[in-house]
Amino acid sequence: MEFQVGLSDEGQRLDAWLATQFGPDASRTAVQRWIKTGDLQGPGGPLRNNRRVRSGERYRLQVPAPSLSILHPVDLTLDVIYEDADLAIVRKPAGIATHPGPGDPKTSLVNGLLHRWPVLQDGDDLRPGIVHRLDRDTEGLLLVALNERTRRDLSALFEKRQVHKQYLAWLLGAPPAEQGLVRASIGRHPIHRTRMVIDANGRAALTGFRVETTITSARGRKFARVRLDLHTGRTHQIRVHMNHLRAPVVGDVLYSRPGLELRGFGLLLFACRLAFEHPRTGKAMEFELPAPPRFQEFEEAAPGL
């Protein structure tokens, strides 16, 4: 992974600056460990945590793989929506990563999966059962494979875009039309590596949207509740596409400065529906959940915001 220091970052401590590039995906302690062990390379010979970075400098990080030691069972009291011998549907809560990330020893949903289904502990897979993911702050339906054959089959369904994923979101602003498609390729930000950007040279991304309702607050701010169909599965896809339409997801502090003001509601993005064909039986499977209470709480509060 490569990072370049921007003009606005001039003079920051190296460990603090690098930690901001990762955001919640890596702690400052992990960053300091990488610097100490030589996993981070940059100008000026051996690096120290308190080095002051300069605009234009480039740093390269060889991130160590997550240790298998962090993959231990933890009773997270999972909300299991459906389960059979091959797969399960769980409701992922907001505020927890789907799987461990680089230098991140914190508990992830995977730890809960290992507790609920001990069979997933076999082997050395760092993402047991995971065939797709939700962002740390995104809540909703997650499909889990309970054996290797099903994992391969479900992965193939995702690759062929035969899993229908629908989301519900509140936006700060409104799309330019009542419904439509956003076709805009997405790539990683060249400097802030935790962020994604619209990039003509990135990976193709397609998001469908339909406005369900809009609210104009007493201060003249417009909010829109939308249904979103995810036709591709790029990192932060919905968040990047909605920000591209100048209507970021409410509570999205990574892509919207006004999101800081509204973060008390959390990220108002909810994976509400999954539909696919069961890879073993061929049966049509469809699951849908009502939005969490905070969505209604926001709708009631929006006129005064």
Phi/psi for 72 (5° steps) reads -125, 155
One domain for residues 155 and 167: no
For residues 138 and 270, what is the distance between their CA atoms, to the nearest angstrom? 6
For residues 257 and 235, what is the distance between their CA atoms, to the nearest angstrom? 20
For residues 304 and 221, what is the distance between their CA atoms, to the nearest angstrom? 10
The CA–CA distances, whole Å, from 174 to 71, 201, 269, 281 equal 41, 27, 15, 41
Question: What's residue 152's pLDDT?
Answer: 92
CATH code for the domain in which residue 133 is found: 3.30.2350.10
Higher-confidence residue of 109 and 122: namely 109
Question: What's residue 173's pLDDT?
Answer: 96
One domain for residues 9 and 38: yes
Q: Where are the alpha helices (DSSP H) in 63-220?
A: 109-116, 148-159
Q: Name the one residue in this structure whose structure tokens are 């696919």.
A: 276
- For all residues of the chain together, what is the average pLDDT? 90
One domain for residues 39 and 148: no
Reading the block at residue 159, the tokens are 């690759």
One domain for residues 177 and 119: no
Q: Which of 28-32, 38-42, 151-155 has the lowest mean pLDDT?
A: 28-32
Q: Which of 11-15, 100-104, 137-141 has the lowest mean pLDDT?
A: 100-104
Arithmetic mean of pLDDT, 44-54: 89
Domain boundary among 129, 160, 191: 160
One domain for residues 194 and 298: yes
Question: What's residue 30's pLDDT?
Answer: 77
One domain for residues 46 and 109: no
Arithmetic mean of pLDDT, 113-135: 86
Question: What's residue 123's pLDDT?
Answer: 60
Instruction: Supply the DSSP string of 14-76, one letter for each residue.
Output: HHHHHHHHHGGGS-HHHHHHHHHHT-EE-SSSS--TTPBP-TT-EEEE-PPPPPGGG------
Tell me the whole-structure pTM to 2 decimals: 0.79
Q: Name the one residue in this structure whose structure tokens are 């969490």.
A: 292
Does the pLDDT of residue 235 top 80, yes or no?
Answer: yes
Question: What's residue 69's pLDDT?
Answer: 54
One domain for residues 135 and 245: no
Does the pLDDT of residue 127 top 70, yes or no?
Answer: yes
Q: Are 267 and 255 in contact (CB under 8 A)?
A: no
How many H helices and E strands in the chain?
A: 6, 14
One domain for residues 186 and 264: yes
Q: Which of 10-24, 45-59, 62-76, 224-238 has the lowest mean pLDDT?
A: 62-76
Could you confirm whether 104 is annotated as catalytic?
no
One domain for residues 167 and 302: yes
Does the pLDDT of residue 8 top 80, yes or no?
Answer: no
Instruction: Supply the DSSP string of 265-305, one letter for each residue.
Output: G---EEEEEEEEE-TTT--EEEEE-PPPHHHHHHHHHGGG-
The CA–CA distances, whole Å, from 6 to 18, 22, 79, 191, 259 equal 12, 15, 43, 7, 23
Q: Name the one residue in this structure whose structure tokens are 């994923």.
A: 165
pLDDT tier, 124 (very low <50, low <70, confident <90, very high otherwise): low
Reading the block at residue 273, the tokens are 């529906």
Domain boundary among 44, 61, 78: 61
Q: Are 138 and 271 in contact (CB under 8 A)?
A: yes
For residues 111 and 286, what is the distance between their CA atoms, to the nearest angstrom? 26
How many structural domains does the chain have?
3
Question: What's residue 105's pLDDT?
Answer: 63
One domain for residues 7 and 30: yes
Q: Are 299 and 225 in contact (CB under 8 A)?
A: yes
Residue 244, H or E segment: helix 237-244
Task: Check 9, 15, 104, 135 and give the catalytic one.
Answer: 135
One domain for residues 210 and 294: yes
Q: Name the one residue in this structure whose structure tokens are 């914190």.
A: 106
- For residue 95, the enclosing domain spans 66-160
Does the pLDDT of residue 103 top 80, yes or no?
Answer: no
CATH code for the domain in which residue 26 is found: 3.10.290.10
One domain for residues 135 and 153: yes
Does the pLDDT of residue 67 top 80, yes or no?
Answer: no
